[in-house]
Structure 1
Amino acid sequence: MTIGCSAVLHAGLPFPYAEYERRQQKVFEAMERENLDALLVTAHGHLQYLSGYDARGAYFMPFPLILVPGQKPTFVVREYELGSVRPGSCIQEIVTYREQFDFAPVCADAIRGLRIKGRRIGLELGCWGLAPADVNALQAQLPDMKFADATRLVGTVAAVKTGLELELMRFAMEMTDLAVQTFQSSLRVGIREAEVAANIDREVERAGGVVQATSSTLLFGERTKLSHGSPKQHPIGNNQPAFLEIGGVKNGYAFGLVRSAVLGRHAETELLHDLSVEVLEAVVDAIKPGATAGEVDSAGREVLERHGCTKLLNHRVGYQTGIRWVERGNLSLEPGARDILEPNMTLHMPIILCGESGYLFGTSEHVLVTERGAEILSRTPHTLYRA
């Protein structure tokens, strides 16, 4: 089967072309199971997974990667971004358009040029990167084609990691652990959130890594009542809580982790943390090949039911990880989810509980699904750190 990548390492890509060929072939196999004749990949993380391109330019307009079994993948991108897409991806067939109104006719022409045998085209309708107006415009250009929702297809393939991916992810976790250790060692009365963040950046950079600042949360005191929050010039006082969610990143692969601390004593958040540990450990124990995502979620909620405080958890217990911190439409550990866990999946379980006073506090683990269960990848304990 011709795919459109050569089996060499491109200077601008983190993996050999053969790795992208393998991923595309897995997607073709999934397309066959779903009876799809073509697939338009538009989710930014999925574009990076299949082509290497980080999709930064795709925030402004759709950049569909068109996949048709037996044919070379075709990228449809904005002309302005061509200089970044060509060296940043393994895709050789690239079609360009200039303005938003050009997207649908140019993309439709590219699809017709591929001479698709059938008429069933998959779209990632439940992901970011494709607006309803884009879908309507494509339907108007391709009235004879039948569009199907293929939101979960690429994410399901990407959920199972290769050794090459896990090597990057383990390094990213080393950087996450270093960030956590720096957070803990920095805590003292009067230090500001922004100072701790600067300490983290400095130490991780010294180790040759980076953290994903856009997804990081670092909060002290009353500000731990915020669901997300970037560090400010806000100091921590005695007998106050501190909360960190941060992830080291390598070639787009992010490994998030939640860790909490108390400077002195703080009864309410300490109780929340104790309970979050119990929930987390039940969730981790439930992770094994063959378990459903919903069963894992239920294991955590059963702990809260026994304590009579189910309302403390108002979100899912975890999600699939890999390229980008999260991607809408990927596997989610939530009530009723039927996805079946497989070896070499990686999952993050942030168990953050909401107290009566509004504090959001807890802990997490990032695990690799193995034949025997869950391998915890962090080396920093998920217990409460006391400074």
Structure 2
Amino acid sequence: MPKPFSAIPFTGIPFPKTEYDRRQKKVLAAVASANLDALVVTAHGHLRYLTGYDGMGGYFAPFPLILVPGRAPTYVVREYEVDTVRATSCIDEIISYTQQQDFSKVCADVLRRYGLHGRRVGLELGCWNLAAADVSALQAQLPDLKIADATRLVASVAAVKSELELEAMRNAMAMTDLAVRTFQQSLREGVTETKVAETIEEEVKKAGGQLAQFYSLGFGERTRLAHGVPAHHPIRNNEPAMVEIGGAKHGYAAGVVRSAVLGRHPETEVLHDLAVEALEAAIGAIKPGETASAVDAAARKVIARSGRSQVFRHRTGYQTGIHWSERGNLSLEPGAADILEAGMTLHMPLILFSENGYLFGTSEQVLVTERGAEILSTTPHTLYQA
């Protein structure tokens, strides 16, 4: 007789079942407010938020979590992954399909069984892990299904963190700060990006932590590369260095950007000063009830006043939590009408472009509180000079 899943080492859900029940209840309330009859969740970050399972088996075809008011959640997953989903999620009702082409039929069968074939159902049309072909195949199975875009629905609920989530974010940030200190202390002439990356990973592992799956690190001319991965490239005297890195806990990532100069590099040093000023203005604008666009505008005002508006070519920040980011999350950008609430966590990377193409800057991971913004990192966002 097979052993119960509880006997498998390192399985289970990271938070109490009551925490997932709370999340699902809030999402279902948002479903009702959006005048939807059901929600089909497919984004990996949202699946992990609502179930505990990381969703990674859905690289082959979607793993829809079907939420219907008055019913227990139903997970539709590949048969190959059923035991993993059962062992690492809080979902009891799991229905499987075998091949990629079976996804739409099995998902449609569940929706039909729940009387949703002619109803209004939300799909995460703007998130990762749901392709246009998946939507078309589902619509072909259920021609009367009224599909609505629910890209922002789970994200809007997940934006406000519980105390358990904030604890995970703080634990993640402790590893981020360790990574940043290791980055700074490792800078010496001739050391390569890969060697510094290896040292960071060793120190974080030694401390019992882990890093988010992706991070960027570059020296000298390679700081021109957005999201550049470490290479066997050494730093020389009078060159800049920049890292964007985050620790992770239960899938919650808390990333920051930190920059340094080995010796002196006037071009990037001046750029960094501007990034710090813009970042601090944006942080100062954060408070409950403020719009996301107003925070973004505070940073842009500083940069415009410098006469160098062309150096800032992206948004001021974005919602954080499970995974580094997810499409459809709250974004601090021009025109964004989202209202900040206490309990939200935001990453605010003020990375600027120099005249010669260097990308350089700084960031903070902040918690929105009733009093304003609480900075979660303990490493200063000022320039580190080695």
Q: TM-score, normalised by structure 1?
A: 0.96
Q: Establish whether residue 280 from structure 1 lines up as the match of residue 279 from structure 2.
A: yes
> Is 1:350 equivalent to 2:349 in the alignment?
yes
- Corresponding residue of 1:51: 51
Match of 2:339 in 1: 340
Corresponding residue of 2:167: 167
State the distance in 2 between where 1:332 and 1:384 align. Answer: 26
Return the offset for 1:116. Answer: 4.0
Matched, 1:13 2:21: no
Superposition deviation, residue 82 in structure 1: 1.1
Question: Secondary structure in 2 aligned to 1:215?
Answer: coil
Q: Deviations over 1:292-314 (max 9, x none)?
A: 11111111111111111111111
CA contact (8 A) 2:117 2:145 kept: no
Aligned to 1:99: 99
Give the residue type in structure 2 aligned to 1:21. D
- On the 8 A contact 1:39/1:66 being kept in 2, the answer is yes
Is 1:27 the counterpart of 2:27? The answer is yes
Q: 1:6 is matched with which residue? A: none
How far apart, CA to CA, are the structure 2 residues paired with 1:11 and 1:61? 23
Q: How many residues align?
A: 377
Quick one: which amino acid aligns to residue 356 of structure 2? S
In 2: Cα distance, 1:164 partner to 1:156 partner = 18
Q: Secondary structure of the equivalent of 2:46?
A: helix
Return 5+ residue gaps in structure 2 as ranges: 1-9
How far is the alpha carbon of 1:117 from its aligned partner?
Answer: 9.5
Q: Aligned AA for 1:316?
A: R
Structure 1 CA distance for aligned equivalents of residues 106 and 205 of structure 2: 43
Cα distance between partner residues in 2 of 1:116 and 1:42: 18
Aligned residue for 1:180?
A: 180
Q: What is the SS of the residue equivalent to 2:256?
A: strand
Q: What does 1:1-387 correspond to in 2, within 5 Å?
A: 12-116=12-116, 119-212=119-212, 214-387=213-386
Query: Match for 1:378: what amino acid?
Result: S
d(CA) in 2 for partners of 1:112 and 1:67? 14
**Are 1:31 and 1:37, in contact at CA under 8 Å, matched by a contact in 2?**
yes
* SS of 1:330 mapped into structure 2: coil
Residue type at the aligned position of 2:251: G
Deviation for aligned residue 1:115: 2.6
- Aligned AA for 1:380? T
Matched residues in 1 for 2:269 and 2:57: separation? 44
In the alignment, the residues of structure 2 paired with residue 347 and residue 89 of structure 1 have an alpha-carbon distance, to the nearest angstrom, of: 26
Calculate the aligned-residue CA RMSD, in Å: 1.1
Question: 1:110 offset after TM fit, Å?
Answer: 0.6
User: Aligned partner of 1:264: which letter?
Assistant: G
Distance across 1 between alignment mates of 2:93 and 2:31: 20
Report the Cα offset of residue 118 of structure 1: 6.9
Instruction: Give, in whole Å, the separation in 2 of the partners of 1:381 and 1:365.
Output: 9
**Normalization by structure 2: what TM-score?**
0.96
- Kindly provide the amino acid, as one letter, of the partner of residue 270 in structure 1: E
Equivalent residues of 1:37, 1:118 under 8 A apart: no
Identity in percent: 67
CA distance in 2, matches of 1:358, 1:241: 13
Whether the 8 Å contact between 2:111 and 2:117 is mirrored in structure 1 is: no
CA distance in 2, matches of 1:208, 1:143: 51
CA distance in 2, matches of 1:84, 1:308: 55
